[in-house]
A = this chain, B = another copy of it.
């Protein structure tokens, strides 16, 4: 996965008045997502978005009904990214712990992409009731999927007996928090983060002394 591929200077899309709504809409979206991550949704004004695209505020309303629709679409795109990887993992098969491990790896990577970050970093409270319900549905689906991977592992013996719900919260928390501290220009690459998290969150960090209850 190329680093920072979703953060080019998108003002090029509005360099002329060529009629190409699709790419212009996309440029608005990526710029907005980036600003939402940089400054938060509340502090990123429509003027900020417009300014970065070198246009004026009302022009934005040719591509989106209102600010909330932009936010909602960010959630949708990010959720779609996550769901993609979820389906891929589920179809690949393997033991429970392998699926969890694969989930952690993929999810960690998504959390370093702006749209992915939006899903878990931005505040649902900024959405209207309907939109919030929609977004919650996406999130719940992700949570349920992770939980089912864990449950698969408990069932097939690859994961130790534990509360799957709490385990999912723990893993998801570690992953979701990535979008709070990750910096594209920082020293840690998405791959490093993803692989280490996949290891420590499944295997733990404690050194194994006594050989513990194996098999069943």
Interface bracket on A: 35 or more
Q: Mark A132-156, 1 if CB is under 8 A from B, else 0.
A: 0000000000000000001001000
Taking CB atoms and an 8 Å cut-off, the chain A residues in 173-190 that contact chain B are 173-178, 180-181, 188
Given A125-B40, A177-B176, A204-B203, A197:B209 Cβ within 8 A: no
A196 touches B125 (CB 8 A): no
A201 at the interface (CB under 8 A from B): yes
Chain B residue nearest to A41 in the complex (CB): B42
Our pick among B39, B162, B170, B212 for the contact of A208 (Cβ within 8 Å) is B212
Given A97-B205, A162-B196, A214-B209, A174:B181 Cβ within 8 A: no
Docked pose: A97 CA to B177 CA in angstroms: 22
Docked pose: A43 CA to B210 CA in angstroms: 52
> Which of chain B's residues have a CB closer than 8 A to the CB of A157?
207
> Which of chain B's residues have a CB closer than 8 A to the CB of A213?
207-208
A169 touches B177 (CB 8 A): yes
> Which of chain B's residues have a CB closer than 8 A to the CB of A208?
160, 208, 211-214
Given A125-B40, A177-B172, A205:B166 Cβ within 8 A: no
Cβ distance A62 to chain B, nearest Cβ, rounded Å: 28
Our pick among B42, B100, B160, B205 for the contact of A160 (Cβ within 8 Å) is B205
Cβ distance A60 to chain B, nearest Cβ, rounded Å: 21
Docked pose: A181 CA to B166 CA in angstroms: 11
Cβ distance A117 to chain B, nearest Cβ, rounded Å: 13
Q: Mark A37-63, 1 if CB is under 8 A from B, else 0.
A: 001101100000000000000000000
A158 touches B211 (CB 8 A): no
